Amino acid sequence: MGSLTSASDNTRLAYETDVTQFAQWVADNGTKKPGGVTRAQVKQYLAYLTRNDHAKRTIARKLAALRRYYGWLVRESAGSRRRVANPTIGVRSPQGEGRLPRILGPDQLDALLSGNQLELDDPAWRLARDTAVVELLYGSGLRVSELCLLTPANIDLRAAAATVWGKGSKQRRVPLSPPCIVALERWSALRGEIATETGLRAPLFVNGRGNKLTPRDVRRILDRRAIDPTHPHALRHTFATHLLDNGADLRAVQELLGHASVATTQRYTHVSRERLQSAYLASHPRA
């Protein structure tokens, strides 16, 4: 998909998967070539996804992938005898807010940060690494992909800050909390026991084989520590919501999260309002 050259690897992979799934669906329904797809088929596909309980946000992303793909295909076919029409024109995304971000409760967060339920015979390097990973995800609101890209050169413990490479290769600087600094110091002291690479440009976090930590490795870390199934992004959601709950400016939270648009950050204000409403209903004698 040539129109995705500026997108992140995860975005490209998601869009390519979405287009492939659509191509398989229309092929199963008798259309073998992309130029033969009609607007009615695109609408039927969205209805099919809705009937199969796909979230509105997921369906909207799949439609966005098809729009990007057909926009590229139309440009590529311009001037040829077999010009392709764009069947996504006039097709609307599902309306609605979609699901609000999931926020972790105090017990869930404490279990992830402390790792108290882990076996005592876990090697010290694993406990140190896993604690540093969770502290960065929650304390600095990193995406899991951003965490996996970190190198020792990105960490400035004296300034209590980290340099992060976000979506679209955009760089930002995020603060490190005091517990995170302690966790990173412990991990740095033990990292050499298993890491296969050294130096400031080597991966900061490595797996048990000494290789660069992957998003799947991070999910395994949370699976071992969590009292409930927890996705790494839930820690980022919790980071943002806790900031807003405690009076942080929306624009500041946007910058910390690396959101291109403040509209993306605004969904956390809905979560904060819901939490306040729930607290009022549960606690106020007149509620």
Give me the catalytic one of 102, 259, 267, 275. 259
Q: What is the CA radius of gyration of the chain?
A: 22
Residue 175, SS3 per DSSP: strand
The catalytically annotated residue of 173, 233, 270, 273 is 233
Q: Is 268 annotated as catalytic?
A: yes
Q: Choose the catalytic residue: 54, 102, 167, 275.
A: 167
**Quick check: is 231 catalytic?**
no
Specify which residues 155 forms β-bridges with: 162
Catalytic residue list contains 270: no
> Is-contact 197 203, C-beta < 8 A?
yes
The string of DSSP letters for 120-152 reads: TTS-HHHHHHHHHHHHHHHHS---HHHHHH--G
**For residues 44 and 26, what is the distance between their CA atoms, to the nearest angstrom?**
10
Give the count of beta carbons closer than 10 Å to the beta carbon of residue 206: 19
What is d(CA 65, CA 86) in angstroms, rounded to the nearest whole number?
Answer: 13
Residue of 212, 225, 236, 237 marked active site: 236
Q: Of 15, 45, 138, 268, which one is the catalytic site residue?
A: 268
DSSP string of 200-212, one letter each residue: TTS-SSB-TTSSB
Q: Of 68, 129, 143, 212, which is the active-site residue?
A: 143
How far is Cα 112 from Cα 250, in angstroms, rounded to an integer? 26
284 catalytic, yes or no?
no
242 catalytically annotated: no
Catalytic-residue membership of 225: no
Distance CA 78, CA 218 (A): 45
Quick one: DSSP state of residue 5?
T
98 Ramachandran zone, left/alpha/beta (phi>0; psi -120 to 50):
left
By three-state DSSP, how is residue 160 classified?
A: coil
Catalytic residues, which ones? Answer: 143, 167, 233, 236, 259, 268
